[in-house]
């Protein structure tokens, strides 16, 4: 049978067996967030498109061609959220959660939408686990956020995670750097690939992480942002690096690390797993974002982890171990005892057991086949001659051993 309706491109169903692993990961995340005192927040999937356009940046690909954007029936321009930071900041301001001198720390787990062509590690609907810490400019927070991220991955069992680190400066020094880059590349424009020629006008920083060899070679001689950081940004970055080093957190400086959203300032970072091309998460500071959304001038920092990507890495590393739970009992019965069987099943369920029952009242043979397929640990067989004495047959489906027991025993005993 061919399905009449199928899912939209780029979205997928997460089936029970896989979802188990999602919940494991989420559980671990919540546990870590608790230890760092982050509180969960949930924002709508749909938002005024404006908040993304303003913060992510009009010239970014996300806004130019990847937003699910449309007008609702009230003629409002709305968007399915392409990322989590702007909504959290919006909620933070709208609910007046800020108090001077206090840091607000949030985490979220939810789905995001970007209208991309699907490929490995990329879907149109994808899920992120992210945090946002608002109200503190100190480098100490940067280090804590990075440390949280690495602890999380570490405690999931991942080794060989590399932390890539950069500073993207602030609007002041980045502008200077940007024009220096533009000047540099403009003199070599004829050697750049078509994409980079485009990037030269739009965002010269992007040329730095072009994959074309000739562009890479040229970019190798390009000026480094480290020579352009202003005093404040430089000092901040130095302190972050020092603190990471003294905390024993290894990192790789990557001056070509360019985050894709305009709101980032100062510290920018990504985490990658060995053997996987994509990064599984990234983040950074965004000290101007709250103000950009109409709030006070308070700083922020956060990161987001791609759930699907993380799971792919965990899968590839053999770290997905949880299995689906199987029923404790399967109730099989002689047909005229259906009602008794139903009631007995309910009693066991009310004691906390997972109980399946045959829905077909078929021959015992096929009921036991059902028991086998349901992967139940034990079968309970209810037969007339025993049932009148409140006894049932308890069969261990693994060993095949069976014994007569009092039915009440199953209710009061803990499952062995």
Partner RNA sequence: GUGAAUGUAGCUCAACUUGGUCAGAGCGCUGGACUGUGGAUCCAGAUGUUGGGGGUUCGAGUCCCCUCAUUCACCCCA
* Contact set with RNA (CB under 7 A): 1-2, 6-10, 60-62, 65-66, 83, 114, 116-124, 126, 128, 195, 199, 206, 209-212, 258-261, 270, 277-282, 304-306, 308-309, 333-334, 363-366, 368-369, 371-373, 381, 383-384, 393, 395-400, 402
Whether 338 and 312 have beta carbons less than 8 Å apart is answered as no
* 9 vs 76 by CB, closer to RNA: 9
* 232 vs 340 by CB, closer to RNA: 340
In whole angstroms, give the CA distance from residue 260 to residue 304: 13
Whether 238 and 139 have beta carbons less than 8 Å apart is answered as no
Q: How far is the CB of 93 from RNA (least distance, A)?
A: 22
In whole angstroms, give the CA distance from residue 161 to residue 153: 8
In whole angstroms, give the CA distance from residue 48 to residue 378: 54
* 200 vs 298 by CB, closer to RNA: 200
* 187 vs 399 by CB, closer to RNA: 399
Sign of the dihedral defined by the CA atoms of residues 227, 233, 236, 237, in that order: negative
Q: How far is the CB of 57 from RNA (least distance, A)?
A: 9
At residue 260, φ and ψ (nearest 5 deg) are -85, 0
Residue 258 tokens, joined: 């360019």
* 196 vs 293 by CB, closer to RNA: 196
In whole angstroms, give the CA distance from residue 408 to residue 391: 8
In whole angstroms, give the CA distance from residue 137 to residue 350: 53
Q: How far is the CB of 157 from RNA (least distance, A)?
A: 18
Q: How far is the CB of 118 from RNA (least distance, A)?
A: 4
Whether 288 and 56 have beta carbons less than 8 Å apart is answered as no
Q: How far apart are the first and last CA of the chain?
A: 43
In whole angstroms, give the CA distance from residue 260 to residue 183: 22
Q: How far is the CB of 113 from RNA (least distance, A)?
A: 9
* 2 vs 96 by CB, closer to RNA: 2
Q: How far is the CB of 99 from RNA (least distance, A)?
A: 29
* 48 vs 121 by CB, closer to RNA: 121
Q: How far is the CB of 212 from RNA (least distance, A)?
A: 7
């Amino acid at each position: 049978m061919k399905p009449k309706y199928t899912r939209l491109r780029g979205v997928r169903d997460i089936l029970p067996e896989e979802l188990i692993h999602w919940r494991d990961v989420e559980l671990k995340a919540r546990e870590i967030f608790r230890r760092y005192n982050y509180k969960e927040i949930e924002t709508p999937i749909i938002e005024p498109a404006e908040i993304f356009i303003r913060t992510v940046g009009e010239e970014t690909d996300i806004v130019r061609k990847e937003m699910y954007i449309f007008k609702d029936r009230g003629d409002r321009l709305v968007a399915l959220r392409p990322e989590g930071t702007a909504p959290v900041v919006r909620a933070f301001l709208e609910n007046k959660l800020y108090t001077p001198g206090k840091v607000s720390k949030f985490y979220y787990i939810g789905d995001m939408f970007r209208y991309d062509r699907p490929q490995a590690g990329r879907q149109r609907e994808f899920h992120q686990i992210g945090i946002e810490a608002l109200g503190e400019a100190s480098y100490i927070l940067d280090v804590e956020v990075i440390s949280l991220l690495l602890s999380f991955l570490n405690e999931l069992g991942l080794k060989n995670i590399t932390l890539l680190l950069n500073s993207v400066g602030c609007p002041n020094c980045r502008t200077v750097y940007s024009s220096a880059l533009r000047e540099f590349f403009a003199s070599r424009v004829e050697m750049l690939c078509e994409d980079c020629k485009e990037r030269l006008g739009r965002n010269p920083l992007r040329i730095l992480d072009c994959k074309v060899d000739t562009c890479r070679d040229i970019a190798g001689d390009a000026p480094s942002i480290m020579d352009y950081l202003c005093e404040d940004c430089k000092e901040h970055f130095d302190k972050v690096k020092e603190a990471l080093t003294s905390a024993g957190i290894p990192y790789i400086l990557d001056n070509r690390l360019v985050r894709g959203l305009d709101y980032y300032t100062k510290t920018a970072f990504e985490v990658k797993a060995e053997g996987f091309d994509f990064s599984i998460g990234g983040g950074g500071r965004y000290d101007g974002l709250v103000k950009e959304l109409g709030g006070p001038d308070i700083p922020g920092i956060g990161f987001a982890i791609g759930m699907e990507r993380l799971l792919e890495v965990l899968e590839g590393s053999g770290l997905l171990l949880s299995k689906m739970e199987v029923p404790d009992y399967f109730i099989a019965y002689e047909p005229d005892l259906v009602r008794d069987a139903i009631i007995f099943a309910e009693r066991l369920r009310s004691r906390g057991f997972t109980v399946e029952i045959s829905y077909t009242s078929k021959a015992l043979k096929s009921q036991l086949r059902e028991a086998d397929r349901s992967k139940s640990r034990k079968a309970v067989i209810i037969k007339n001659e025993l049932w009148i004495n409140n006894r049932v047959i308890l069969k261990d489906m693994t060993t095949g051993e069976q014994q007569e027991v009092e039915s009440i025993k199953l209710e009061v005993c803990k499952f062995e």
